[in-house]
Structure formats: structure tokens, C-alpha cells
A and B are shown apart, each in its own frame.
Chain A
Amino acid sequence: MSEVRQETVELWGGKLTVAVSVAGTGPPLLYLHQAAGLAWDPFLQHLTERHTVYAPQFPGTTLGDPYSIHVVDELSDMVLAYEELVRNLGLDNPVVVGQSFGGMLAAELAAHFPSLTDRLVLLAPLGLWRDDAPVTNLLAASAEQLPGILFHNPEVAKVAMAMPEDPETAVVAASQMVWSLGCAGKFIWPIPDRGLRRRLHRITSSTLIVWGRQDAFVPSRYASDFADLIAHSKVAMIEQSGHLPQVEQFDQTAAAVDEFLG
């Protein structure tokens, strides 16, 4: 099993320090996590079997460094910061995988910098809006509503969303998670549409769009929108899954991604 090591990368004129988890061997893969923060899960571990995975933590989501979210204000600047991160890490044509909010960032990165990657995997990305299938406002949901919004199977939700037993650790984890959601909110509130629809045509990478059929956060209806707007793309619809197919249906999701990455 591949060891995860922690690196830090300075960028944005020295004003931003990004924590990056790195593991695996093989060609580089950049993984952009969901709004709640980076969790090193079996899917990431699986990706390390054939790639060197670089998983940066979105500014503000790193424990002990909450205020770096205030360093970058505009989405376009954040995309520039991520491009800088890729260069500073020395990644040459990395595979880019993004989940949910991270999927939106991944799509933005590929749309802004079409030559940055030639293989893109979007797991239920945010970034588009349809009046006939509105994205659920995750940040305004109650704690009781969250499992049902994120998961199809309540049993999986229970395990995936379990908090640490030690009360002190639970407080630290819960407050960091709330803050992390707030950090993403800077770029997805009030509506997770910052014009990505107008930019998706710029993506030239071969793209896999993965979606859980029963996604109650970002409806699977959006999969075909991404597919229609990205030239070289295909959709893998994962059955019996909510918003996190890599957690809820690991085998199906890993198989689809493995096949795409070859």
C-alpha cells in the first residue's frame, strides 16, 4: 500500500501555501477534492496503484490554516493559482480528476488552460445550473438533511459521515468541515454557476463524466449537459449511487475510471 506524504507548495507571490498529499508511482494525477475537504479514501488509494497522485487542499480547508481562503477572491484568480500549483509541482500533462466542487475547479482549469491536461475525469461536477433541475443548496441544509442529499444508501451514509468519537477531535473536525464548506461557498454561493457553461467548449482533453444516477445534490441530468458541451467526452452513469459514486459504488466507479485512463 502506497504511503501518503505531505508536501507544501508556495504560490501566488508567496502569499498562499498549499498542502498537497502525494502518494503512488507512475505518471502524475492531480486530484481536486469536494467542498467538505480532502479525505484520503479507497478511491484515491486505488488511483495510486497506477499514478502518482497529487491531492492539494483547497485554500482554507487545511487544518490550522483557515484564513488562506481570504487570499484569493475571484474564481479566475483561483484557477490561475491552481495552474501555478501544477507548474510548481512540476507536473507534466497530469491526468486531472475532480469531484463535485473539485470537479468544477477541474473543468475550469481545463477550460482556461486546454493544454494543461489531455485526460480529465469529472465526478459529479458542480458549475452548471438548470432551472428545471436545480442544484440542491448543500450549504443551507440541516445536519439531518445532509446524508440524504449526498448518499443514496443511508447505511453507506452512516459510515461515511461518522464523526470521531473523541469529543475534542469531533469539534475540531466538525468546525473544519463547516469552514471548508464555507470556503467552497465563496465560489458556489448563492448559485454554483460562475459561467462555466460558456467556457466548457474550450476543453480539448478527452473527458470522462461520472455520475451517480440517484444524485440528490447535483442531479444526474447534468451529465448530458457536460457531455454536450465538451467535445471529446463520454458519460459513465453509476447505478444505485448518490453524489459520491467513488464512495458509494467503488467497484463500478473504479472500473469506469480505470478503463478510461487505460
Chain B
Amino acid sequence: MKVSIFGQAAYRYLPDDFAQHHDSVCDTPYSLVTKDGMYASVRHLIDELLFGARCGLDGVSITEHGQSSYDVMPNPNVVAGALAYVTEAEGLPVAVYPMGRSLGKSREPVKVAEEYALLDVMSGGRLVAGFPVGLSYDASINNGVPPIEVRGRFNENLDLVLRAWRDQIPFAFNGKHIQYPQVNIWPRPLQEQPPVWLTGIGNPATMQQVLERGFGFNFFGFAGSKLTAQRIFPRFWELAEQSNIPRNPYRVGFLQNVAVADTDAEAERLYGKHIEYAFHTGLGAIPAEKLSLPGGIDIRGVQALLKDPADFGMYAQMRTASLRDLIDNGTVVVGSAATVRDQLTELCQQHGIGNLHAMLSFGSMPPELAKGNIKLFAEQVAPHLRKLWSDSGFEHHWWPERLGGKPAPATAKPGEKVSV
């Protein structure tokens, strides 16, 4: 099992009554920010990710959100570049893992291919490349893409990126959304093909795409893993079984907030207010309509969500949820190292999860507390989890070769289009 650290650059110094008056995306007033506060929020995140790498975690991971207060990360590859260089210079055997550049919003897909290729070169072949479709507000409000075109643009851009990495001779690209007279990127990635991961929210079409094209599948547990994991992962594995694809746990990644202390009580005492801050002012403060702009979700998906919104876990209650509810629903796994270890082992075992992305710094956490959490997790939790699938007989095809993976190329044919 691969155990990585994931981070978001939340602005850490929002006023106490933020969630009552403001949303965390699109129109959040920048007047709430101080220059020192913004500097510290971004600096602490990078320090903490690097600290995680130095503590021996297997990967450092971030993702992309524009115009938001809960993750000041308009381009994760900027931060990934810093991490790639430092970890290379220090000889840290850690995956650089943007989860990553949103291809549904990108109007410059060749730039994404180039950025990732450069990251792979800078890190000496340690890139793991994530491609989220992109949240509705980010793709369509922040970046102006008509919601109904986001999925098609994602598919087309993904085809282009994979081909730009792979093709050895220059090619013209005549897409529906983007055209280039010639594509011939410098550099190409060092890896024959960096491992590719898509992030899903439960849509079977995304899962099917992952399975058909040989990618890895990431799911984020922000909305409460005790509510959502039991819905999402069985759905994924059932689709795999239907296609006679083996249940290789290394193909699945899960993101979970984790908070560790010496005892369960101490953990709640230390982290409680930061957990509340993280969810009240983060996901909880994204209005529903900004996540589901008309046309952004397929009509069958809209019907499914209207009938049964449980894939979204406790999202609808999150803005004002109590600490107890946040913990009980699994938005965060919190407790002593033993408690956290047991809960995460059970979760990963039950759902066939072979990659855990632990979010160890969140909300308003001061860096000392975050680093304490990272250290405890890396020393007392991660080593136990790492052994989880050692005897499974499966190999990790979605991890860089330099870090012990056995990459298998994605199955996309050149220029292959997937359905809109």
C-alpha cells in the first residue's frame, strides 16, 4: 500500500463567523485576507508537504482549485515543481502527485502535457499524474467553459495529453474544442507514461472510463467516508467484475482527513476546532448550485442525485455540522495512532484500497500542530498500513517504476475519442 500526504492551501485565518456570511468559492471577498495570512497559508502548506516527504511518506499530493478560500491552488503544478526540485535535491524517494490539473476546464491542454512532462523530468521520473474533470464552479464559473461541454473537453484534452507524451513525431490535432497545427512537446516525460489517475465522485461513466483505459481511480472522502465509501467502492469493483478486470487494490486511491494524537481524547481536543473550521468554511461553504451547474451533470446523473443524494454524504449539512457529526460520519479519522490505524486498515481492507492519501493538515491548523500530526502518522500509522496488500499477489501498475511500481501503459489508442 502506498501512503501519501495530501494538502490543500486553505486560508487559515478566516473570521469565526465566515461560514454564516460567505461562501468559500467564486465570490468570497478577498478583503478578508491579509498579506501575511496569505503568505503563511501557502508557505505552511508547502513546508508541511515537504515535511511529510522527509518523514518517509510515499507521495506528496495536491490538486487544483481556482478562486476559492479553502484551497488557494490555481495551478498545483507550481507547488509540485517546488516539491519536485527539493525532493530530488534531497534524494527523497517520494512520488510527486498532482491530482491534479483539471482537464475539463483547461483551454491549454498542451500546456498541461508540458507541465507534467517537465515535472517528471525535474523529479527524475517520480510523477504520478492525476486528472480531475474539475468541479462545476471551477470549470464553468472560474474558467468560462459551458457546463455541458466540460466532460467532452475533459475527454478530448486527456486524449491529447496522452498522445503528446507518447508520440515521437509531431502531429496535428483537430479536436472539437481545441485545434493545434503541430504538437511536439519538449520535454517528453522521462517515464514511458507517467501513471494516470482520474478522480471520480460516483459517476459510473467515469469509473468505466478508468477501467477501460487502464487508469487508477481516486475518490475523496471529504463528504464523510462512513457514508460514501460503502457506496462508491462497491460500485467501482462491481463494474470491474463485469469487465473481468481483477480486483487489484493498487488501482484505487482514497483521500481521507486524518488526525493523530497520543490518545483519542487528546486528538479531539487538539484538532476539534480545526476540523470544524476545515469543513464549515471549506466544502460546507460551497453552495450546492455551484457544484451542479445545469448541463455539468448528465441528465441521468441529475435524476439519480435527486432521487438519492447519498453519494454526497453529509455535504448538505456540513456548513453547520457539529464536531461529533463530522467525526462520526468519517469526514476525518481522528484518535490515537492505534485507533486511526485500526479504522484506516478496516476501511482500506473492506474496500480494496491500495493507495491512501492522508490529509494531515487542514483548516486553521497551526504548522506545529500539523507537523506533529504528520510525524505521528508517518511513524506510527503509515508503516502498518504499508503492509496491507503485500501478500495480495498484485503489483502496483499505477506508481512510478523508480519508486517500485510496475507501470502498465494506458490502453488509449492514439487519437481515440471517448464518448461525450
A contact residues vs B (CB 8 Å cutoff): 66-67, 69-70, 73, 139-143, 171-172, 174-176, 178-183, 185-186, 189-190
Cα of A183 to Cα of B294 in the assembled complex, Å? 8
* Given A140-B141, A190-B140: A175 and B302 interface contact (C-beta under 8 Å): yes
Q: Is the CB of B295 within 8 A of A186?
A: yes
Q: Is the CB of A141 within 8 A of B289?
A: yes
Q: Most chain-B CB neighbours within 10 Å: which of A142, A174, A179, A183? A: A179
Cα of A189 to Cα of B146 in the assembled complex, Å? 5
Task: Give the 7 A-B residue pairs with the shortest CB-CB distance, closest first.
Answer: A182-B295, A181-B294, A182-B294, A189-B146, A175-B302, A179-B299, A190-B144
Task: Considering the complex, give the chain A residue whose CB is closest to the CB of B287.
Answer: A142
Q: Is the CB of B295 within 8 A of A179?
A: yes
Chain A residues whose C-beta falls within 8 Å of the C-beta of B307 in the assembled complex? 171
Q: Is the CB of A185 within 8 A of B147?
A: yes
Cα of A180 to Cα of B299 in the assembled complex, Å? 9
Residue B66 at the A interface, CB < 8 A? no
Cα of A181 to Cα of B148 in the assembled complex, Å? 10
Task: Considering the complex, give the chain B residue whose CB is closest to the CB of A172.
Answer: B303
Task: Considering the complex, give the chain A residue whose CB is closest to the CB of B142.
Answer: A190
Q: Give the Cβ gap from B252 to chain A, nearest Cβ, in Å.
A: 30
Within 8 Å by CB of B289, from A66, A143, A171, lies: A143
Cα of A176 to Cα of B294 in the assembled complex, Å? 10
Q: For chain B residues 141-192, which have a beta carbon within 8 Å of chain A?
A: 141, 144-149, 152, 176
Q: Most chain-B CB neighbours within 10 Å: which of A70, A139, A176, A186? A: A139
Q: Is the CB of A69 within 8 A of B289?
A: no
Q: Is the CB of A189 within 8 A of B140?
A: yes
Q: For chain B residues 300-342, which have a beta carbon within 8 Å of chain A?
A: 302-303, 306-307
Cα of A143 to Cα of B295 in the assembled complex, Å? 15
Cα of A174 to Cα of B306 in the assembled complex, Å? 9
Cα of A142 to Cα of B144 in the assembled complex, Å? 18
Chain A residues whose C-beta falls within 8 Å of the C-beta of B292 in the assembled complex? 178
Q: Is the CB of B299 within 8 A of A185?
A: no
Cα of A67 to Cα of B296 in the assembled complex, Å? 13
Per-residue CB contact flags for chain B residues 276-304 toward chain A (1 = under 8 Å, else 0) read 00000000000111101111100100110
Q: Give the Cβ gap from A155 to chain B, nearest Cβ, in Å.
A: 24
Within 8 Å by CB of B146, from A66, A142, A174, A190, lies: A190
Q: Is the CB of A189 within 8 A of B289?
A: no
* Given A172-B303, A190-B144: A178 and B289 interface contact (C-beta under 8 Å): no
Residue B420 at the A interface, CB < 8 A? yes
Cα of A74 to Cα of B137 in the assembled complex, Å? 23
Q: Is the CB of A140 within 8 A of B306?
A: no
Chain A residues whose C-beta falls within 8 Å of the C-beta of B294 in the assembled complex? 139, 178-182, 185
Q: Is the CB of B295 within 8 A of A140?
A: no
Within 8 Å by CB of A178, from B146, B152, B287, B302, lies: B302
Q: Most chain-A CB neighbours within 10 Å: which of B140, B145, B287, B290? A: B140
Chain A residues whose C-beta falls within 8 Å of the C-beta of B302 in the assembled complex? 174-175, 178-179
Q: Give the Cβ gap from A211 to chain B, nearest Cβ, in Å.
A: 24
Tell me whether chain B's interface is mostly helix, strand or loop, or mixed.
helix
Chain B residues whose C-beta falls within 8 Å of the C-beta of A189 in the assembled complex? 140, 144-147, 295
Task: Considering the complex, give the chain A residue whose CB is closest to the CB of B144.
Answer: A190
Cα of A190 to Cα of B140 in the assembled complex, Å? 7
Number of interface residues of B (CB under 8 A): 25
Chain A residues whose C-beta falls within 8 Å of the C-beta of B287 in the assembled complex? 142
Chain B residues whose C-beta falls within 8 Å of the C-beta of A176 in the assembled complex? 299
Task: Considering the complex, give the chain A residue whose CB is closest to the CB of B420.
Answer: A70
Q: Give the Cβ gap from B96 to chain A, nearest Cβ, in Å.
A: 33
Q: For chain B residues 369-420, which have a beta carbon within 8 Å of chain A?
A: 420
* Given A175-B306, A179-B295, A182-B294: A140 and B148 interface contact (C-beta under 8 Å): no
Q: Is the CB of B149 within 8 A of A186?
A: yes
Q: Can you give 12 contacting A-B residue pairs, CB < 8 Å?
A: A171-B303, A171-B306, A171-B307, A174-B302, A178-B294, A178-B295, A180-B294, A182-B147, A182-B296, A185-B295, A186-B295, A190-B140
Task: Considering the complex, give the chain A residue whose CB is closest to the CB of B290.
Answer: A140
Q: Most chain-A CB neighbours within 10 Å: which of B148, B306, B420? A: B148
Q: Most chain-B CB neighbours within 10 Å: which of A174, A182, A183? A: A182
Chain A residues whose C-beta falls within 8 Å of the C-beta of B303 in the assembled complex? 171-172, 175
Chain A residues whose C-beta falls within 8 Å of the C-beta of B306 in the assembled complex? 171, 174-175
Chain A residues whose C-beta falls within 8 Å of the C-beta of B296 in the assembled complex? 182
Cα of A139 to Cα of B150 in the assembled complex, Å? 15
* Given A178-B302, A181-B294, A185-B294: A142 and B288 interface contact (C-beta under 8 Å): yes
Cα of A73 to Cα of B176 in the assembled complex, Å? 9
Task: Considering the complex, give the chain A residue whose CB is closest to the CB of B292.
Answer: A178
Q: Is the CB of B144 within 8 A of A181?
A: no
Cα of A139 to Cα of B147 in the assembled complex, Å? 9
* Given A140-B141, A143-B289: A181 and B295 interface contact (C-beta under 8 Å): yes
Task: Considering the complex, give the chain B residue whose CB is closest to the CB of A170.
Answer: B306
Chain B residues whose C-beta falls within 8 Å of the C-beta of A140 in the assembled complex? 141, 289-290, 293
Q: Most chain-A CB neighbours within 10 Å: which of B140, B141, B299? A: B299
Within 8 Å by CB of B148, from A171, A186, A190, lies: A186
Cα of A210 to Cα of B299 in the assembled complex, Å? 33
Q: Give the Cβ gap from A25 to chain B, nearest Cβ, in Å.
A: 36
* Given A171-B303, A171-B307: A142 and B289 interface contact (C-beta under 8 Å): yes
Task: Considering the complex, give the chain B residue whose CB is closest to the CB of A145.
Answer: B289
Q: Is the CB of B176 within 8 A of A183?
A: no
Cα of A237 to Cα of B78 in the assembled complex, Å? 53
Q: Give the Cβ gap from A177 to chain B, nearest Cβ, in Å.
A: 8
Cα of A59 to Cα of B294 in the assembled complex, Å? 15
Cα of A181 to Cα of B292 in the assembled complex, Å? 12
Cα of A59 to Cα of B56 in the assembled complex, Å? 55
Cα of A143 to Cα of B149 in the assembled complex, Å? 22
Chain B residues whose C-beta falls within 8 Å of the C-beta of A142 in the assembled complex? 287-289
Per-residue CB contact flags for chain B residues 41-74 toward chain A (1 = under 8 Å, else 0) read 0000000000000000000000000000000000
Chain B residues whose C-beta falls within 8 Å of the C-beta of A182 in the assembled complex? 147-148, 293-296
Q: Give the Cβ gap from A84 to chain B, nearest Cβ, in Å.
A: 21
Q: Is the CB of A139 within 8 A of B293?
A: yes
